[in-house]
């Protein structure tokens, strides 16, 4: 039975984890180093829209220098987590597909539950950080839950014949 529609091939799983780990390293680095001042990541790229600061003219649909560190983190994190979570398992079947979908549902609940708490208790400019994290938390919570379920199920096998 085809339970594997919309999934990436199994080989993508490992690639996904590698990309995901790289992006996490970049996130950790950004906690310790102010990457917005580093010229390493000022690349000439095509800009869709950059509103600039109050005095600047916005840049619209033109080439220009931008700091791409957040761009890299965002793209790598999403690509990595998506591949890691939505690639076929080695022995993909209907039960694993069910675990995956249930984990996704679970992640959406937890994510928005946490977001409601943040709405209730966090105010001012700090809320921007909440929004920043919240862009990725659904995927991350999903990954944790799904892999936990896979681990728990493989563990319950040990006692069986």
Partner 1 sequence: MKNNIRVERAIKNITQEELAKKTGVSRQTINAIELNKYIPSTVLALKIAVVFNKKVEEIFLLEKKD
53 C-beta neighbours (distance < 10 Å), count: 5
Closest to partner 1 by CB, 84 or 97: 97
**Helical residues (DSSP H) of the chain, grouped into ranges:** 11-32, 69-85, 94-121, 126-155
Contact track, partner 1, 142-161, x by CB under 8 A: -----------xx-xx--xx
Backbone φ, ψ for residue 8 (5° rounding):
-80, 160
Distance of closest approach, residue 103 Cβ to partner 1, in angstroms: 14
Interaction of residue 93 with partner 1, rule CB under 8 A: yes
- Which of 36, 63, 71, 94 touches partner 1 (CB under 8 A)? 94
Closest to partner 1 by CB, 44 or 98: 98
d(CA 151, CA 57): 53
Distance of closest approach, residue 16 Cβ to partner 1, in angstroms: 20
* Short-list 31, 61, 59, CA closest to 46: 61
Interaction of residue 98 with partner 1, rule CB under 8 A: yes
Interaction of residue 5 with partner 1, rule CB under 8 A: no
91 C-beta neighbours (distance < 10 Å), count: 8
> Which residues are at the interface with partner 1 (CB under 8 A)?
1, 89, 91-96, 98, 153-154, 156-157, 160-161
């Amino acid at each position: 039975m085809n339970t594997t529609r919309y999934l990436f091939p199994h080989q993508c799983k490992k690639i996904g984890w590698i990309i995901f780990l790289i992006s996490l390293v970049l996130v950790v680095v950004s906690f310790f180093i102010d990457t917005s001042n580093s010229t390493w990541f000022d690349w000439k790229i095509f800009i869709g829209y950059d509103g600039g600061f109050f005095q600047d003219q916005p840049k619209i649909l033109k080439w220009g220098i931008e700091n791409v560190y957040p761009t890299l983190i965002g793209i790598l994190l999403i690509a990595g987590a998506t591949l890691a979570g939505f690639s076929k398992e080695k022995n993909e079947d209907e039960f694993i597909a069910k675990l995956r979908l249930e984990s996704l549902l679970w992640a959406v609940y937890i994510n928005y539950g946490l977001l409601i708490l943040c709405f209730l208790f966090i105010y001012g400019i700090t809320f921007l950080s909440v929004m920043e994290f919240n862009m990725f938390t659904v995927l991350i919570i999903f990954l944790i839950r799904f892999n936990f379920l896979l681990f728990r199920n493989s563990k319950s096998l040990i006692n069986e014949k």
